[in-house]
């Protein structure tokens, strides 16, 4: 059993790179928590906007750390190293905690003191303000079942920005250096391969969509689409008995890339990605939903070529 102070202390780490326009909302959401035993660590990853000025307004209410730009993974690792709390919560600078978030985690920790990872549900907020709630789900106890469920998205509501982790995790695991997209997905996969987790069904955070986030995710997604597969299943990190799940995850990432292109209207790229997945994993051809999308790509490309052809 993990030894704990009473009550538990949370370090809320806010990594920020040129999100100064959102930073005050994130910090204020922590200051508004009903549970008071926490610290706020803001790690500025070399921002060139108003981030330093926004952080300075909070004085000793926060710990402010500034570093040369090194990327999301290095920034989170720096935050974990600086944190004093027994549990670490990584809050995106453009998101906000709900008022009872830390209280809910504290109660769950008291009920399940042997568990080092807890995650809550979240509320997605669209640019136009519409909200959609995703409740956290239960997660299998066995490590293979746990990782498989996570990779195939059978576990819903498990979002990096809604997860609390015991600081001891960072004595063995760190965010993967050099990866610029899907970093949270890869790191949480490695965490779940090693550590038990429990879900809090109620939402704990609001995740805000905005143009900057969408452009960033889209630009990086294709470049790093498959890089995370090898990093997640690094033999020096992943237990040997779980390495057989690597092809499953590679298939999931290929289909994710194809699906993103499809929804973006990039039908030629989506068709190529679906065909590539089928060649590598022939059983994919028996998935009716995927085949319908592939046929739809072919139809849209055909009709588009006819419409743009000579008249």
> Using one digit for the tens of pLDDT, what is the confidence trace for 280-304?
999 999 999 999 999 999 999 998 8
Q: What is the CATH number of the domain that holds 158?
A: 3.90.550.10
With respect to residue 5, please indicate whether it lies within any of the assigned structural domains. Answer: no
Range with lowest mean pLDDT among 135-139, 245-249, 281-285, 289-293: 135-139
Mean pLDDT to the nearest integer, 148-161:
82
Greatest alpha-carbon span in the chain: 77
What's the whole-model pTM score? 0.88
**Residue 161 vs residues 62, 97, 107: alpha-carbon distances, Å:** 19, 9, 19
With respect to residue 119, please indicate whether it lies within any of the assigned structural domains. Answer: yes
Distance in angstroms (rounded) separating the CA atoms of residues 19 and 27:
12
pLDDT at 223 over 90: no
Q: Are 15 and 43 in contact (CB under 8 A)?
A: yes
What tens digit of pLDDT does each residue of 261-285 get?
999 999 999 999 999 999 999 999 9
Range with lowest mean pLDDT among 2-6, 203-207, 229-233: 2-6
Percent of the chain with pLDDT over 90: 72
With respect to residue 3, please indicate whether it lies within any of the assigned structural domains. Answer: no
Q: Are 49 and 69 in contact (CB under 8 A)?
A: no
Instruction: Mark whether 56 and 81 lie in a shared domain.
Output: yes
pLDDT at 114 over 70: yes
With respect to residue 268, please indicate whether it lies within any of the assigned structural domains. Answer: yes
Instruction: Mark whether 92 and 207 lie in a shared domain.
Output: yes
3-state secondary structure of 54: helix
Instruction: Mark whether 184 and 94 lie in a shared domain.
Output: yes
Instruction: Mark whether 291 and 196 lie in a shared domain.
Output: no
* Among candidate residues 177, 194, 220, the one where a domain is terminated: 220
* Among candidate residues 220, 254, 277, the one where a domain is terminated: 220
Distance in angstroms (rounded) separating the CA atoms of residues 192 and 248:
16
Range with lowest mean pLDDT among 49-53, 189-193, 212-216, 228-232: 212-216
Task: Report phi then psi at 62, rounded to 5.
Answer: -135, 165
Q: Work out the mean pLDDT of the chain and round it to a whole number.
A: 90
- Give the structural domain span for 107: 10-220
* Among candidate residues 156, 191, 220, the one where a domain is terminated: 220
Instruction: Mark whether 46 and 189 lie in a shared domain.
Output: yes
Comparison of pLDDT for 116 and 212, the residue scoring more: 116
Number of domains the chain contains: 2
Mean pLDDT to the nearest integer, 219-231:
72
What would the two tokens of residue 113 be? 């003191």
The pLDDT assigned to 215 comes to 46
Percent of the chain with pLDDT over 70: 91
pLDDT at 204 over 50: yes
The pLDDT assigned to 225 comes to 67
With respect to residue 228, please indicate whether it lies within any of the assigned structural domains. Answer: no
């Amino acid at each position: 059993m993990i030894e704990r102070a009473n009550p538990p202390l949370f370090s809320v780490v806010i990594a920020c790179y040129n999100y100064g326009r959102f930073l005050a909302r994130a910090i204020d959401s922590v200051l508004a928590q009903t549970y008071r035993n926490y610290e706020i660590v803001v790690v500025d990853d070399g921002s060139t906007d108003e981030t330093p000025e926004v952080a300075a307004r909070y004085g000793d209410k926060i710990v402010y750390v500034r570093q040369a730009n090194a990327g999301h993974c290095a920034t989170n690792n720096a935050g974990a190293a600086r944190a004093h709390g027994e549990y670490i919560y990584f809050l995106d600078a453009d998101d906000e905690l709900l008022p009872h978030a830390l209280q809910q985690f504290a109660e769950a920790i008291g009920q399940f003191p042997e568990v080092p990872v807890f995650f809550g549900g979240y509320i997605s907020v669209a640019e136009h303000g519409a909200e959609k709630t995703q409740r956290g789900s239960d997660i299998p106890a066995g490590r293979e079942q746990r990782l498989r469920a996570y990779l195939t998205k059978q576990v819903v509501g498990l979002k990096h920005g809604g997860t609390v982790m015991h600081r001891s995790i960072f004595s063995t695991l760190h965010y993967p250096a050099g990866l610029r997209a899907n970093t949270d997905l890869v790191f949480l996969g490695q965490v779940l391969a090693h550590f038990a987790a429990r879900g809090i069904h109620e939402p704990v955070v609001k995740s805000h969509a905005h143009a900057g986030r969408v452009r960033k995710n889209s630009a990086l997604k294709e470049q790093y689409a498959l890089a995370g597969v090898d990093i997640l299943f690094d033999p020096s990190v992943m237990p040997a008995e779980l390495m057989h799940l690597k092809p499953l995850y590679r298939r999931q990432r290929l289909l994710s890339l194809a699906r993103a292109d499809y929804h973006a209207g990039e039908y030629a790229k989506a068709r190529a990605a679906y065909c590539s997945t089928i060649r590598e994993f022939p059983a994919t051809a028996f998935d009716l939903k995927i085949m319908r999308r592939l046929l739809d790509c072919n139809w849209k490309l055909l009709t588009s070529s006819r419409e743009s052809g000579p008249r």
